[in-house]
């Protein structure tokens, strides 16, 4: 029996949950150890005939739960359930079939290959990141540097025997490395619990549980806390579109389609071997938005990169769903659009300083536009078009680049359509696509020269930045999730110099306001020489808010040195070199650098002044003014 007060409270919580407005549903659903020693189990299974909890505390025999009114929630209270105990729910569906199911709200699972949930005490984490959190509230990320280091915790570092680092060990090595390399944020590939290593976390089992591979939730929270204390932001990939196919997980949870679409064709995600969430169901809204709030509130994350947004925007995105239309006759998933708008709206109402980032692969308009204007309300969108075109250009033999210069210049047309992040992510260095280094044409020397130029182009093109681990020193092998990065590469002088180059480039980016404070303003970009396909060179200026603050960027995309190369600038005066990608210290051939430049009032390419220099073969220059007339 449930006492009347508890039943009333659960009825009120259940009402909000069933109307899609319970955004902290993890506070009452799932398993909760009370200070009295009683352990409470609550689970939503609206069509179940009966529900019981089974675990090692009752020899895996049924301990029945009681249904709470018409909420669809089942409740039970038990003594003698110690923290560390394993449990599942035994759910008998409308057809009388009994199945063991995971707890959708579990905070911890046993180590793979098991998938039982673990009873844990409430986390009593004492945070030490108040300065970071206060600074985050005061700052506008759009006008701040953002240079994200994306990594997969299972393969960034491993012990010699191949075993995983713990969260604590990761913190000890990752934080000084990220500080040394001058990245502003880390983005962790999904750290929510998942069974299959090869899924990289994108086939999720637990939406409220940190993966047990590297330790417990306290270890993860300490990692986030230490990163914040080191002035490093923490972003995590999150997958609200689909869930793991396993039958003991969310699929047909109460014996009927519970979290997935009723229509099996819509529920079945054939391309990814998963089940699509029913984004038109109010309870799924409560579940998923509560998951987002758990990671943002309880774990102090600075943002979520929402995976596979296109799968939630279009009815026909998957294989075998061609021709599906909505009631308006087009292919948009109106329920998915409404869910994404609600997600971003409620998150930003409570956390206006948190970053919601869309990985969206189509040309859907308004991904980062406000909801009031009909947009989705994301803060940023990955610019996958820019990424694909840029990599395609750099993979080409330089001989053919002049005939394909539009691969670079086309991005200027749409670069302000959304608030973009420019990603060279894990997806581009796996499954036979080759590492960034291996994509580059030519011999080993030219591969490094191309890679330095590519990374410089990334650094100065409007938009925030993201690169995947290993790219910063030019790892040749493509990414392998089952082993650590090839850190041994750094014994090679060329790889070591590449890493030194990235350290310098990242520092220049972070210290140079023109490279980030007007990323999304037309005034932030001055086109000085962007259409010289014949010589395969390019020049433009990144302008800061103050008119005398700007960075001149000049690129040579072929291995032919350009002497007396003229660069147009807004003012006559003195200029200085920020970086030359062909500096011998970075693996290039230049041992003597031209570091000072004098611009006179010779107009060039629409600019009132200019100067000449030697533009290195397959290289780039970044130059800034020091004394203007």
| Pairing of the two strands 609-615 and 50-55 | unpaired
Cα gap 42→26, rounded to integer Å: 10
Q: Where are the beta strands (DSSP E) in 440-533?
A: 464-468, 525-532
Region class of 255: left (phi > 0), else alpha (psi between -120 and 50), else beta: left
- What one-character DSSP code corresponds to residue 281? -
> What is the separation, in whole angstroms, between the first and last Cα of the chain?
85
Cβ density class 603-621: b for 16+ within 10 Å, e for less: ebbebebbbbbbbbbbbbb
**359 catalytic residue (yes or no):** yes
Q: Is 25 exposed, middle or buried (0-12, 13-18, 19+ CB in 10 A)?
A: buried
Q: How far from 199 is each of 105, 152, 179, 217, 225, CA to CA, in Å? A: 21, 11, 29, 21, 27
- Contact criterion met (CB below 8 Å) for 421 and 146: yes
Cα gap 495→458, rounded to integer Å: 19
- Secondary structure of residue 304 in the 3-state scheme: strand
Cα gap 612→352, rounded to integer Å: 47
Q: Would you say the C-alpha torsion 301, 147, 159, 161 has a positive or negative sign?
A: positive
**Dihedral of the CA atoms 234, 239, 245, 250 (nearest 10)?**
90
Cα gap 391→454, rounded to integer Å: 8
Give 526's strand partners. Answer: 541
Closest CA to 244 of 292, 194, 191: 194
Which position among 77, 150, 278, 307 bears the catalytic label?
A: 307
Which position among 182, 254, 318, 359 bears the catalytic label?
A: 359
Helix (H) or strand (E) holding 550: strand 550-556
| Pairing of the two strands 117-118 and 66-67 | unpaired
Which residues are designated catalytic?
Answer: 307, 359
């Amino acid at each position: 029996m449930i006492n009347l007060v508890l039943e009333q409270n659960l009825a009120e919580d259940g009402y909000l949950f069933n109307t899609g407005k319970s955004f902290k549903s993890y506070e009452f659903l799932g398993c909760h150890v009370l200070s009295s020693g009683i352990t409470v189990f609550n689970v939503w299974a609206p069509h179940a005939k009966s529900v019981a909890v089974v675990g090692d505390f009752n020899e895996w025999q049924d301990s029945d739960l009681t249904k709470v009114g018409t909420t669809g929630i089942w409740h039970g209270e038990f003594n003698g359930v110690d923290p560390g105990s394993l449990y599942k729910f035994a759910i008998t569906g409308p057809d009388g079939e009994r199945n063991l199911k995971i707890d959708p709200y579990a905070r911890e699972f046993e180590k793979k290959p098991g998938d039982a949930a673990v009873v844990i005490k409430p986390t009593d984490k004492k945070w030490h990141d108040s300065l970071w959190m206060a600074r985050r509230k005061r700052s506008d990320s759009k006008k701040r540097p953002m240079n994200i280091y994306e990594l997969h915790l299972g393969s960034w570092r491993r012990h010699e025997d191949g075993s995983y680092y713990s969260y604590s060990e990761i913190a000890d090595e990752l934080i000084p490395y990220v500080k040394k390399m001058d990245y502003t944020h880390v983005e962790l590939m999904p750290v929510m619990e998942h069974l299959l290593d090869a899924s990289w976390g994108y086939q999720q089992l637990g939406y409220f549980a940190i993966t047990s591979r590297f330790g417990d939730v306290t270890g993860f929270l300490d990692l986030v806390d230490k990163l914040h204390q080191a002035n490093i932001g923490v972003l995590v990939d999150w997958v609200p579109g689909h869930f793991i196919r396993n039958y003991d997980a969310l699929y047909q949870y109460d014996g009927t389609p519970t979290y997935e679409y009723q229509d099996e064709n819509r529920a079945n995600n054939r391309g990814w071997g998963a089940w699509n969430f029913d984004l038109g169901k109010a309870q799924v809204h409560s579940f998923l938005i509560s998951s987002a709030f758990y990671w943002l509130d309880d774990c102090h994350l600075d943002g979520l990169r929402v995976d596979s947004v296109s799968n939630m925007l279009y009815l026909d995105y998957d294989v075998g769903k061609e021709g599906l239309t909505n009631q308006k006759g087009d292919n948009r998933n109106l329920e998915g659009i409404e869910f994404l708008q609600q997600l971003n709206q409620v998150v930003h109402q409570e956390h206006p300083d948190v970053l919601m980032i869309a990985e969206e692969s189509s040309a859907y308009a308004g991904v980062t536009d406000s909801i009031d204007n009909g947009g989705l309300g994301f803060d940023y969108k990955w610019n996958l078009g820019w990424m694909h075109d840029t990599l395609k250009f750099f993979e080409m033999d330089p001989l053919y680049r002049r005939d394909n210069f539009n691969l670079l210049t086309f991005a200027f047309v749409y670069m302000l359509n959304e608030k973009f992040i420019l990603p060279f992510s894990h997806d581009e260095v796996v499954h036979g696509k080759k590492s960034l280094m291996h994509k580059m044409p030519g011999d080993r020397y030219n591969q490094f020269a191309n890679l330095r130029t590519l990374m410089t182009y990334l650094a100065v093109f409007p938009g925030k930045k993201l690169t995947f681990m290993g790219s910063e020193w030019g790892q040749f092998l493509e990414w392998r999730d089952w082993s650590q990065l090839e850190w041994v590469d750094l014994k090679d002088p060329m790889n070591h110099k590449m890493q030194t180059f990235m350290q310098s480039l990242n520092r220049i980016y972070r210290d140079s306001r023109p490279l980030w404070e007007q990323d999304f303003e037309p005034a932030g970009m001055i086109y000085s020489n962007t259409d010289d396909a014949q010589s395969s060179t390019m020049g433009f200026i990144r302008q800061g808010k103050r008119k005398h603050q700007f960075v001149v960027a000049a690129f040579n995309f072929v291995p032919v040195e350009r002497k007396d190369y003229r660069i147009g600038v807004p003012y006559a005066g003195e200029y200085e070199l920020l970086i030359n990608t062909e500096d011998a210290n970075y693996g290039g051939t230049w041992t003597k650098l031209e570091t000072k430049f004098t611009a006179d009032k010779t107009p060039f390419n629409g600019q009132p002044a200019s100067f000449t220099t030697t533009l290195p073969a397959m290289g780039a220059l970044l130059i800034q003014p020091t004394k203007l007339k």
